[in-house]
Amino acid sequence: MNSSNPEHDALSLLNARRSVPAKQLDAPGPDEATLLRMLRSAVRVPDHGKRVPFRFLRITGSDRDALGERLAARSQARDPDIGEGALDKDRRRFSHAPMVIVVVAVLDPDDTKIPEVERLLTAGSVCFALLQAAQALGFGASWLSGWPAYDAEILALLGLGGNERVAGFIHIGTPRIEAPERERPDPAALLTDWHAP
Ligand SMILES: Cc1cc2nc3c(=O)[nH]c(=O)nc-3n(C[C@H](O)[C@H](O)[C@H](O)COP(=O)(O)O)c2cc1C
């Protein structure tokens, strides 16, 4: 790598991005100042109409386990026949990484000018930018959803309003392993040219 070429360095960093599974994320998580550095980077997303259609919710410490207990209870209510293995998975869902940032999409229903899908795309971009910032600062991260992201009772428990959705649960911590690379799509195979008919 030619480290005197800043463009090359930036692309190398972008191309090195990969998720670290939540189960492989240990303490320490980012401290307050480091988290704010990450978020400052994450909010630099394209945003049609400058709506800022997102906010952040931080889940750390014993609140992760408490949320897990509530998830397990809700899971059992949804499916009384659920097995102990699935319940345990829900109980520990938020307890692996030391920090989970919920990127909340804030979708004003009265906004008739900027299509909702564009505002949701902005919130999704925040998730991706946060993954990149976490990795750039030496942490590992994973963007997860799962049923809790779509369950009305869990969303209410998290304090989301009726006009809000979970764009992503971003689990952040110190990687216990070097996450294996996975096969990536071949962009050349995805690229076509449009020609005027
Ligand atoms: C909106 C969204 C939700 C996701 N939810 C999950 C999930 O709940 N569980 C999961 O295993 N992966 C989920 N993923 C995929 C992982 O974040 C990740 O992309 C995948 O493990 C591949 O790793 P990579 O990011 O290194 O390509 C989700 C991805 C997106 C974009």
106 CA → ligand 1 middle, Å: 21
Give residues with Cβ within 8 angstroms of 148, minimum separation 6.
Answer: 71, 74, 90, 93, 154, 166, 169
Predicted confidence band at 140 (pLDDT cuts at 50, 70, 90)? very high
Assess whether the C-beta atom of 17 lies below 6 angstroms from ligand 1.
no
Predicted confidence band at 6 (pLDDT cuts at 50, 70, 90)? confident
pTM (2 decimals)?
Answer: 0.96
**Domains of the chain, start order:** 19-61+95-175 (3.40.109.10)
Assess whether the C-beta atom of 146 lies below 6 angstroms from ligand 1.
yes
State how far the Cα of 67 lies from the Cα of 193, in Å rounded to an integer. 48
Residue nearest to atom 13 of ligand 1 (CA): 144
Helix (H) or strand (E) holding 39: helix 32-42
State how far the Cα of 190 lies from the Cα of 19, in Å rounded to an integer. 22
State how far the Cα of 180 lies from the Cα of 84, in Å rounded to an integer. 30
Residue nearest to atom 25 of ligand 1 (CA): 19
Q: What is the pLDDT of residues 15-24, one digit of tens each?
A: 999 999 999 9
Q: What is the pLDDT of residues 155-194, one digit of tens each?
A: 999 999 999 999 999 999 999 999 989 999 999 999 999 9
Assess whether the C-beta atom of 168 lies below 6 angstroms from ligand 1.
yes
Assess whether the C-beta atom of 142 lies below 6 angstroms from ligand 1.
yes
Atom of ligand 1 nearest to the CA of 128: 31
170 CA → ligand 1 middle, Å: 10
